[in-house]
Amino acid sequence: MVIINEWGGYLSYPRTESTGYPKSFEIATTLAQQTHHPSWGSFVTELLEAGFTKPKGGVDAGDHPPITPCRAASPGELHGNEAQIYELVTRHFIATVSPDALFLQTKVSASVGGEIFLLSGKELLEPGWLAATRSFKPNEQTRFPRFAAGDEFDLCKGQIQLRDGWTQPPGYLTESDLIGLMEEHGVGTDASIPSHIKNICDRNYVTTETGRTLVPTQLGIVLVQGYHRIDPDLVLPKVPSTETTGFNIDWPF
């Protein structure tokens, strides 16, 4: 992990358990520092004029606020990984105080030859916080004509295709997927989670492949199988009772 030198004063202290801003945090002042940035300055200016949104969730652990930008960095002032991390943190901060994104979601059911077919899609109406993070791509939209109950339409042969297929097993976890599960189930802390993942890589239990996907090695699979035979509680979540919730895993071996 690359962290911008603390003496630079660009970002706040990164090793914190807080996910919510304290009441004393100056959101407007922090936003105002970004109004002249060429990439997101105009968005921040409009946000300040319209009124930013106070975050609803998160937990203030009382140590430090979540990692946020502390001063403006002009283009070219930071380079390489430092510039990328600064942009990621800054865009995320702006997004947390931006309005909600608004989608129009359409669901259509149609009867064809006695079979029911379902179709769903979404269209972006108001980008909201997505405009700050670039999280949504236009090609992810699916626009449908306006349907009404009882509408009829003709299908041509070229529009219908029958294909054989097989269900596919779920993909391997990415680093971000694993971090999310560790946080959800209380494994490690924000400070120790990266070292845990680094350890399983260094010990050759997994390999990191395209898209930061963690693929188990034969050594890692044998290790988990051994733990599972000795004490399943070491590698499997507890079976939920009627009063608790949990999740089950089907191991791919």
Query: pLDDT tens for residues 125-149?
Result: 888 999 898 776 766 677 777 778 8
CATH of domain 175-234: 1.10.460.10
Question: Which amino acid is residue 60, in one-letter code?
Answer: D
Encoded tokens for 187 = 């494994």
CATH 3.40.640.10 fits 6-96, yes or no: no
Q: What is the mean pLDDT of the chain?
A: 82
Residues with a known catalytic role = 13
- Three-class SS of residue 214? strand
Does this model's pTM top 0.85? no
Residue 97 has pLDDT above 90, yes or no: yes
Given this model, what pLDDT does residue 159 score?
65
Encoded tokens for 228 = 């599972």
Q: Do domains 6-96 and 175-234 have the same CATH topology?
A: no
Structural domain boundaries in the chain:
6-96, 102-156, 175-234
Alpha-carbon gap, residue 162 to 164, rounded angstroms: 7
